[in-house]
Every structure is written in C-alpha cells, then in structure tokens.
Structure 1
Amino acid sequence: MLISLTIIAIVIVACVLCNKLTNKIGVPMLLAFILLGVIFGSDGIFKIPFDDFEFVEQVCTVALIFIMFYGGFGTNWKEAKPVAPKALLLSSVGVIATSFLVGIFCYYILHFEWLESLLIGAVLGSTDAASVFSVLRSKQLNLRYKTASLLELESGSNDPWAYMMTVIILSIMRGENSTPLQIAGTVLWQVLVAAAAGAAIAGISVWAIRHIEFETSGFGTIFVVAIALMAYTFPALLGGNGYLSTYIVGIVLGNCTLPGKKEMVHFFDGATGLMQMLVFFLMGLLSFPSQMAGILLPAIAIFLFLTFIARPVVVCPILTAFKSSKSQQAVVSLAGLRGAASIVFAIIVTVDDAYTKNDIFHIVFCVVLLSIGLQGTLLPILSKKLDMIDNSQDVMKTFNDYAQESSLQFVTLTLMEGHAWVGREIQELLMPPQMRIALIRRGDSQVIPKGSTILESADELILSAIEYQGIRPIGMKETYIDKKHRWNGRRLHELAFPHATVAIIKRGGQAFVPVGDTRILEGDMLLTIEDIPRKERGR
C-alpha cells in the first residue's frame, strides 16, 4: 500500500513538472503524460506490470465525466452563442460524417471488417476538448472570427455523439439493435432522456445552490461534484446518454450566477487537469510499444486520412454554408485533435464482449499520439501563417473562469473614537481611486453610503478594492508585540520597513488600519505585508 501511494505521488509530481517543462519547450503537455505512462509501463524503463483494462475503464469513465462537465461549465455561452449553430452542426453531423468516412477508408483501403471499420471511426470521431483547450490556453491563440469559441463549443459537445455511435456499433456486433428501426429508437431515446434529465438536474441544482446555505466553506463545490456525477448516472440508468446530460448540466451551471462560483471554477480547473493527466498517463501505462509493429502503418494511414482528408471534407462544407473564410476553415480543420475521449472509448471497446479482430486500443494510441504531437504543434504555426491571430482578442474570454472585470475584495474598518474620518462626509475623504465604501454597519442597521453621508464613531465600514492580480510574491506576517519587543511604545513613523508595511493592527477585539502617528502597544498583533526582494526569491 505504501509503495503504491509513493508511486502515485511520484507520478503526479512528474506530470506537474512535465506540464511546466512542455510549456517552456513548446511541446503539447498531454503528449508528455502519455510518454510518461510509457516510461512507467511494462515496456518502459520502470516496467510496472499493468494491464487491468476493466479497472482503467471505470477510472477513465469517472475522469471523462469531470472533463465533460467542466467542458460545459467552463464555456462562456455569451461568447459562444454567435457561433453555436455551426459549432453544434460540427459536433453532431460533423462527427457522424467523419466517423463514416474513416469507416469507409478502413473498410475499402485497409480491408478491415465493416463493423470494425465503423467502430474505429466512431471511437476516433470526436475532437478532444482537453487537447484543444490545452493548445489554445498554453499557446494563447487569440484567433479571429470567434474561432476559439467555435472550437471550444464543438470539442466540448461532440463526445456524446461519438460515445453514442460507439455503444450502438458494439451492440450491433453483439447481435443487438439489428434493425434500422431499433437503431433509430436507441438514438432517439438516448438523446431525449439525456436532454430531459440534464435540463431537470440543472434546474433543480441551480435552485438548490442558490438557496442552501452551506455551513463550511467548500461544501458548495462538493455539492456540485455530486451533481456532476448524478448528471451522468441518472440518465445512464435509464438508458440515456450520460455524457450529453453531464455536458448540458455543466453549461447551464457554468453560465448562471452562483454563490462561490469562483472557488468552483478553481476546483474544477485543477480537478479536470488532474483527470487529463490520469487518462493520458494510464493510456501510456497500458500500452505495449513492442506489440505495435503490426498496427503502426494502418494507424499512421488512419491518422493522415482523418486529419488531412476526412476532417477537412466535413468541416469545409459546413463552414462554407455559414460564409466562413478559407483561413478559418483551414484552422478549424487542423484543430480536430483526438485525445481523452477516444482513449476512454477505445478502452470501452477493449473490455466489451464484442469481438474485434484488430488491436483497436493500440491503433487509437498511435492516432492520439500523432494527433497531439503533430497537430498540436502545427496549429499555432498554421494560425500565424494564415493571419488568424488577433491580439486585440483574448482567448481566455471563451472560458467562464476569465474575469472581464477585476475581482473585488472586501475588508472591514471600524472607526474608533478619535479617528480622522469621524464626523466627516464621505465625499470629503481622500481615498484611492479604485477603493470604495460599499456599506456602513451602524449599530443594528445598515447604511447605503452616499457622498453626503457623515461617518460616526463605531461605524463599521465595508471597503471594496480590486483584488491583487500580480505575479510577484507577497508575504504576510503576524507579529505579536510583548512587553520586551523593541517596537513596543514606538510610533509607526519611527520604524523603518524597507520591504514591508503594517497593514492592520489587531488590538483587543478590534482591528484597525494604522497611520504614521499610531503608537504600537503591548498586546498588539501587527499584520505586516512584505514584498519579497527579487534576490531572495530563489533561496
């Protein structure tokens, strides 16, 4: 047990370090996670024997739930709405058409069996949100014509269609859903159940989050985690498409005003990143490079056909119908990266009872590796060559964790007897331009501040200011003043603070902002904010 936990910790640390390294050298980070898994795997340096596909299938299903949920939760619908029609066409009709083209290629050119050819097309049919997000964010691709929003909405919403095709083809291979009517009924049922369940769960969840007061900070986020899981399991138990329902719930919650939403975004951003690491690492861990000689050439052929023929053949007519430019069509065509969803679907195929003649898992492994490595590297280059970069735009606006307005922080200030502000009107006060008095608590009442409001002794002021967004490290330190402390009895202006300032003094049961003439007394607790000198940061 201890050895297993140690290995897990080492792997996570290695993945995080790989993330930092790949951003510096320009290699897509998800590629590093796959290669790291290969290094730890049976054919790698550490040779960890691991081939439990059933266990990995369960883990990856949960991981994909989080990825799908955050794909919706992080989508800024205001930015995505103008491109929604073509994005949703790409994610539905586009995925189905792409899958069939790949299936036809595998059948007629590679001479695979027909159903197995269609199965490979279905598994590789959807573009991967995690891979696309990774490239867009890490490379800061500020694309013209709202292309980033288009890619985000398409890649976030097309996985349910690929999953649905994969499940249906597997059922046909097992002897189920043998007639067109049964297939149509299955598709209709999956979509209707997912849509109804997603809408119901989203509506109930928004109401609950807004009306339940959670006693402990962070419980709201835990509540949303449970919602994400239920969004998948409830419709799945009824035979619906759990991933579609999860995405619907995510996009509704992500575009509603919710208490504690900022903390939720930060949590799911980190959790989804960890899930991406996990899925790609496990794929590398399950792979056997020594066994891939027989499927390497077919896999390369499928990748080339999918990337440079099937994807553009599907994308260009759809975008042409919306009068999109040729440059946008080229970028969207190349941006069809394959990744986490294809990995999970390939594992589902591997553990399913349906018989497959070819090693679909390793075929998908090679295609994903080539897709992330080649397409992920070429996408920024092509975007610049086609003049698709517009630095007046900000790709981060397409995500809900982007704040168009700076976040506000609130602090309290109690006016004690003798304070310089007591008896003065608010409009007379000299305050920083970005600081405001948001509210005044006066006894048991609350006063909305106006310019003519006169401040009184014992008023508790709620001050608002823009949150610090800098990257330079700032330290906070509490200093207790006892009888022998060298600051005891001295005034602030008599002390030298070269890289610090005393922000707050806690005295008795109150806290106040000191001025230069404030005398430090025994029993005071000083909150000091320190700007760490650059030469000391690496120590």
Structure 2
Amino acid sequence: MLTEPNLVLLFGGLMLLAGILAKSVSDRLGFPLLLLFLLVGMFAGEDGVGGIEFDSFETAFLGSNLALAIILLDGGLRTQMDTFRTALAPAGVLATVGVVLTAACVGVAATVLLGVDWRLGLLLGAIVGSTDAAAVFNLLRQSGIALNERVRATLEIESGANDPMAIFLVLLSLQFIVAADSMVEPLAIAGLFLTQFGIGAAAGLVGGTALARLISRMRMAEGLYALLVASGAIAIFAGVNHVGGSGFLAVYLTGIIVGNSRGRATEHVKLAMDGLAWLAQAGLFLILGLLVKPSNLLDSLVVALLLAAVLMFLARPLAVFLCLLPFRFPLREMSYISWVGLRGAVPIVLAIFPVMAGIPESQLLFNVTFVVVLASLVIQGSSIPRVAQWLKVLIPYRTRPIDSHELWIGSNTTVELLAFTVEPGAAATGAQPARLERLDVPGLQLVQVVRDGRRLPLADSLFFQENDVLWLLADPGHTENLASFFSRRERSGELASSSFFGEFMLNGDSPAADLAVSYGLTLSPSQREASVGELITREKGRRCVVGDRIALGPVSLTVKSMDGSRITSVGLKL
C-alpha cells in the first residue's frame, strides 16, 4: 500500500496523465474518455498492475461529492435560459417521475434475478435510477454531433436535475430496510421529499443570485472570479446537504443563475471552470476505479449484465415513453433520449450509501452497480453518434468560430471578438475586406488576417484565401450570419443544408396565404391568416426548435433559424 506522500502524488499524477493521453485512443475507438479514466483507476488498483490498496469508502464518498458539485456547477453555467425554457417541463418530469419508474422496474428485476429481499431490490433500482450528469455533459459536448435543441436540452437538464430524486429514493429505501417490519410514516416520506427539493431549490436560487451580484460588483484578478464562484457553490452544496436538502439541485441551479447573469467576469468564470470540471471528472472516475476490485465483480457478473440489459432496453425506454408522450415528442426523439440514459459516477457514489450504513449485501449492490455503469458507458456511450444518425435527430452542423471572447466596453455594452477559418469553397474565398460591409452584421470590423501563421497587412487589395484566419469585432448575437460566410457552401449527404432544409428559404413572418397561392396549397381560413412560422408552431402544438418539419401537400417546411420562441426563417423543399 502506498503511504509515502511523494509516491502517492507520483502515482496520482501518472494516472491522470495516462487518462488524458488516452483521449486519442478513445476518439479512434469511439469509447467515452471517462470510461478510460475508470479503467485506468481499476488497473492501478489492488488487482491491477499498480497494486494500490484503496478501500476507504468514506474518502471516496467525500472526494466524489466534491467532484460532482464542480461538474454540476459547470453544467449549470453552460445551460442557457432559452434552452432551459425549451425543455424544462419534459426534463422535469423525466427527472422525477422518470426516475421513480426506472427505479421501480429495475428494482423488481433485481429482486427476482439476485434473489434478495424486495427492499434491497428497490434500493438497487434507486441507486441506478438516475442518469449521470458527468457522462451526459461530457459525451454530448465531445461527440462532435449537432442534436436538435429539444433533444439536447432535455438530456442535459434531466441529467443535471435528476440526482435529487435518486438520492431521495435511496434514503427512503434505506429507511425501509432499517425500519425492518415497522412502517415508514407517509408524513415522514412527504417531509423527506419536501426537505430535499424545497431546501435545495430555495438555496440554489438565493445562493446563485447572491453570487451573481457579488461577482458583478467586485473587481479582482481574472483567475479569482472562478475560484469565488466555485468556493461559493461548494459552500452552498455542503450547507444544503448538512441541513437535509439536496445539494446537487442547489449547486446546479446556482450555476444556471450565475451563467445567465452576464457580466465582465462571466467569460473568465466559464473558461476556468472548464478546466476545473475536467479535473473533477478525471479525479472522480480515477477514485471510483481505484475503489473497486475487479476480482469481486466476477461472482455477480452475469446477473449484473442482465440487470444492465433490463435498464437499457426496458426500464429506461418505458420511463421515457410514458413521461414524454404528453409533450408530443416524435417517436425517434423519445427513442434517442431513452438510449442516452447514461449511467456514470452518480450511481457508484449512491452505491456507497448502503456500504457506509452497514446494510447487509451492500458490497453485492456496489459490485452490481459498477458493472451496470461499465455496461452503460461501453454500449450506450460509444454508440451515441451512430444512434443519433440512425434515428435522424441530427441537424446540419454549423460552422462555429475557432475562438471567441466577449469584450466589455462599458458598464452594459459589449462586443464580440471572433476568429473564423475560411473553409474550402466558402463565400469568403477570393473576397476582399470591403465584402464584409455587405454582411448583415452590425458593428462588424476586420481586426486581423492570419495566413500560414503570419499576420497580413490590412489593405483593400487583400484577397481572402482558404485556411486564412480572420479576427473580427461585431455586436453580440450575429455569429450565425458570419458563420455562413466562412463555411463551405455545401456539405454532402442528408445533413447538407440544401437536402435538410430545402433549396428555398422563407421568412418566418411571411403570410401563409401567399405560400398557399404560390404552391396551390389548401389551407383553412385560420391557417391562411397566420404567418409561416405560426403555421408550423400550430401544427406541431409545442415550442419548435431548429429542424422541426411539417408537410403541406407537395411542400415540406423545416425550421431553419429562431429568435427565442419565434421562427425567423424556414426552409422549403418540394
């Protein structure tokens, strides 16, 4: 066992380094990077080549909670309020009712397959009932795919908000086990539920507002803003947990409020938190990998894999379909959301609860949970891009700036500094600086052109070439217009813009009556009085997102761009 401090630090640094360097391997094989961190921890552990003996569940529990707090804070910081509005209701149902349904289904299967008391079976169902924020945030943002906003927002908000329900169910199951034959009072159950969610929500809203106001008024070194937010969020997390509330919910809401309160320090906070979140995820999975002994997993391997199959192919899909049907989600979107029910660090952390409580068979529950998580990361995590393409929940990828910064030039005035690469075949190829004036981008100014690593003098006679990097200043909110100028004109396949949206573009405010006249469509009087955007929204019966499509006779209309909840442009395809 390692006891010398320098050796501990050496092994810790080497494990972290190995996990990060393995990213290229994970990209080629299609495996989640977090899975590799988990495997590195396992191989460095007692049964692996490292031989590190680590069996302190208390230390693992403390470190895991700290890491999860950082991960959820970072996830909240990057959740835009418009996205939150798009999927709050369906994600909220999934994060509560969906977790209960999943836990109940897995609990029944665990009772039968493991041959344990029904209370232990339900405890295992509660442990694996929630999706994992670290896994979902990481894989969706690193997979390189562009999901439609409704699917992406539902998955991210659900994973960030469903931990409180899972913890509530775990605590409730533990009470049933400890109480043995005596009844748990309904009032006690209701009190536990209200305490968890009520205190967590209230503390997150109040604490997030206080932190947002604090960083907007203070002037300090750039690097300290992120530390201020992180330390404040951890204090909120720990304080809420101490009084019996849900610290996970509190810290996620804190991140949402701080991230959506724009100020001079917001960008500095997000940049620094990105590194802290990566470190937290790596450390979390390394610690959990060290905690498990692979040899202990063999005894229950077959049953654990069967339970993983029940979770992935029965419990999760059943919960998703029952919860999302009232919101009129398309079948392919519900299918994809049910598949991206990734299990990760949270179930393993929850499996530590019964071990620390001294519950009989707790080690069995921990081992089964670990196998279920591994199966989820390997099977579901590695297939996210392929399943998204198969179920057609992708939208055409839009070129993004290779770098961007928000510059404050007054107390309430900002401009964006953006860098774009001129892609082969883009409209910018062969253009001169004067061409930028014709783009519909307020405040647009060319700052610098970089070619082959060299800065070029800005002259009217300059012609842009492929692979040039242009640095531009512009008013916020016009990235899309610039991206279309610098991206290649067409991409191949179904996700080519002309194939996906159609060859013709309509303004979302155009009268539907004009469309009917042009293409001989039969519309009702109320439909003729609406705009094209309103017509699509009425037909869908829900808040639309880019990629939503309706068919009107020989015409297919697809939402191409939006401003909040208003459809601004529509693609038309015959």
Give, as a single letter, the amino acid of the residue that structure 2 aligns with 1:366.
V
Looking at structure 2, the residues matched to 74 and 356 of structure 1 have their Cα atoms a distance apart, in angstroms, of 40
Q: Which protein shows a greater Rg?
A: 1
Residue 247 (structure 2) pairs with residue 249 (structure 1): no
Which runs of structure 2 are paired with 1:258-273 in the superposition (5 Å)? 258-273=263-278
Q: Is the 8 A contact 1:408 1:466 kept in 2?
A: no
Structure 1 SS opposite 2:145: coil
Alignment of 1:125-164 (within 5 A): 125-144=129-148, 146-164=150-168
- In structure 1, the partner of 2:47 is 43
Conserved in 1, the CA contact under 8 Å of 2:97 and 2:323? Answer: no
Q: What is the CA–CA distance in structure 2 between the aligned matches of 1:218 and 1:58, rounded to whole Å?
A: 26
Q: Secondary structure at the match of 1:125?
A: coil
Secondary structure at the counterpart of residue 407 of structure 1: strand
Per the normalisation by structure 2, the TM-score is 0.68
**CA 53–228 in structure 1, closer or farther in 2 if over 3 Å, else same:** same
**1: CA distance between counterparts of 2:324 and 2:402?**
29
Tell me which of 397, 405, 408 is aligned to 1:407. Answer: 405
Aligned counterpart, 2:196: 190
Greater RCO, CA 8 A, separation 6+: 1
Please give the residue correspondences for 1:258-407 in structure 2 after superposition, counting only pairs within 5 Å.
258-356=263-361, 359-392=364-397, 406-407=404-405
Which residue of structure 2 aligns with residue 204 of structure 1?
Answer: 210
| CA displacement at 1:231 relative to structure 2 | 1.7
Deviation at 1:118, TM superposition (A): 1.2
Q: 1:241: how far off? A: 1.3
After superposition, the Cα gap between the structure-2 partners of 1:2 and 1:406, relative to the gap in structure 1 and judged at 3 Å, is closer
Task: Give the counterpart letter for 1:390 in structure 2.
Answer: I
Aligned mate of 1:88, from 92, 95, 106: 92
Runs of 4+ aligned residues of structure 1 deviating over 4 Å after TM superposition are 402-406, 408-411, 430-435, 463-468, 470-475
| Cα distance change of structure 1 residues 83 and 347 upon mapping to structure 2, 3 Å threshold | same
Displacement after TM superposition at 1:357 (Å): 5.3
Partner amino acid, structure 2, of 1:313:
L
Of 128, 139, 152, the match for 1:124: 128
Give the C-alpha shift of residue 190 in structure 1.
1.7
- The Cα of 1:167 is off from its aligned counterpart by 2.2
**Residue 58 of structure 1 aligns with which residue?**
62
Q: Distance in 2 between matches of 1:172 and 1:124?
A: 18
Matched ranges for 1:430-441 at <5 A:
none
- SS of match in other structure, 1:292: helix
Tell me the distance in 1 between the aligned counterparts of 2:12 and 2:447.
39
CA contact (8 A) 1:87 1:153 kept: yes
Whole-angstrom CA distance in 1 between matches of 2:390 and 2:300: 34
Contact 1:197 1:235 (8 Å CA) reproduced:
yes
Cα pair distance change 1:80/1:109, threshold 3 Å = same
Q: Is the 8 A contact 2:98 2:319 kept in 1?
A: yes
Are residues 467 and 299 of structure 1, via their aligned partners in 2, closer, same or farther at CA, if it must alter by over 3 Å?
A: farther
Give identity over the alignment, percent: 30
Cα contact 1:23–1:138 (8 A) shared by 2: no
Cα distance, 1:467 vs structure 2: 8.8
RMSD over aligned Cα atoms: 2.9
Q: Report how many aligned residue pairs link the two structures.
A: 422
Change in Cα spacing, 1:164 to 1:148, as seen in structure 2 (3 Å) is same
CA drift of 1:111 comes to 2.3
Does the 8 Å contact 1:409/1:466 carry over to 2? no
The answer (yes or no) to whether the contact 1:406–1:467 under 8 Å persists in 2 is no
Which deviates more from structure 2 when the two are superposed, residues 153-162 or residues 134-143? 134-143
Q: Show structure 1 runs of 5+ residues with no match.
A: 395-401, 412-429, 436-450, 452-462, 476-539
Change (3 A) 1:320 1:52: same
| Rounded Cα–Cα distance in structure 2 between residues aligned with 1:123 and 1:217 | 40
Query: Do 2:216 and 2:265's aligned partners in 1 also have CA atoms closer than 8 Å?
Result: no
Q: Once the two structures are superposed, what CA deviation does each residue of 1:427-475 show, in whole Å capped at 9, x if it has no partner?
A: xxx998889xxxxxxxxxxxxxxx9xxxxxxxxxxx986699x998789
Structure 2 CA distance for aligned equivalents of residues 392 and 19 of structure 1? 23
Tell me, yes or no, if the aligned pair for 1:407 and 1:466 is still in contact at 8 Å: no
Counterpart contact for 2:130–2:347, Cα < 8 Å: yes
Task: Check if 1:24 corresponds to 2:28.
Answer: yes
TM-score normalized by the length of structure 1: 0.73
Structure-2 separation of matches of 1:62 and 1:465:
44
Distance 2:205 2:451 in 1: 40
Matches of 1:102 and 1:356, distance apart in 2: 17
Following the alignment from structure 2 to structure 1, what is the Cα–Cα distance between the partners of residues 48 and 403?
A: 48
Whole-angstrom distance in 2 between the partners of 1:107 and 1:125: 15
Q: Deviations over 1:242-265 (max 9, x none)?
A: 111111111111111132211211
1:70 and 1:466, CA in 2 relative to 1: closer, same or farther beyond 3 A? farther
Contact 1:315 1:329 in 2 (8 A): yes
Contact kept, 8 Å, 2:119 with 2:177, in 1: the verdict is yes
Structure 1 contact 126–158 (Cα < 8 Å) conserved: yes
- Structure 1 residues 234 and 467, CA gap change in structure 2 (3 angstroms): farther
Contact 2:86 2:153 in 1 (8 A): no
Aligned residue for 2:14?
10
Residue number in structure 2 paired with 1:34: 38
Does residue 186 of structure 2 align to residue 180 of structure 1?
A: yes
